[in-house]
Amino acid sequence: MKIANGRVVALEYRLHLGDGQVIDQSAPGQPLAYLHGHKQIVPGLEGALDGLGAGESKQVVVSPDQGYGNHNPEGVRTVPRSMLPQGFTPQVGQTLMAQTEDGNIPLRIQTVNPDSVVVDLNHPLAGKTLHFDVTVREVRDATQEELTHGHVHGPGGAHE
């Protein structure tokens, strides 16, 4: 069976930024399971997997516009320290969650100043070219329940 929209795919993956240093990967023996065609992985990787079958491997390079988007300078903001939680000591690299009308968004602290902090709302991989090494472990038809819910049930899925 080949990867196509509406099928459940289980894959092992390694992600690096072109230097070979792995920044993310599936756990050994625990492939990532997702519902193909439902935007659960970055578009550039999903499109490159179309038509592969179980046991096949592929190296995929994904440009920022097909990954986590380009880095948007408007996403870098200066926030008064008075807006941070009381008693919180900000440190460079920390991530805070901010509540907005559209839900929670992560804010990564870039700089700590005496009266403010500089935060970045962009995804940490925005603007980066992604290099994936993937091996397809399983391809199966999604159940009607998985299609209705929009995610995989069972091992490797969002709701095990």
Give 53-111 pLDDT, tens digit per residue. 999 999 999 999 999 999 999 999 999 999 888 888 999 999 988 887 777 888 899 99
pTM of the model: 0.82
CA 154 to CA 35: how far, in whole Å? Answer: 12
Start-end of H helices in 13-132: 43-49
- The ranges assigned to domains in the chain are 7-68+126-149, 73-120
- Look up the CATH architecture of domain 73-120: Beta Barrel (2.40)
Q: Which residue from 132, 131, 128, 129 is spatially nearest to 71, judged by alpha carbons?
A: 128
CA 83 to CA 101: how far, in whole Å? Answer: 17
- Look up the CATH architecture of domain 7-68+126-149: Roll (3.10)
Task: Note the Cα 125 to chain centre separation in Å.
Answer: 9
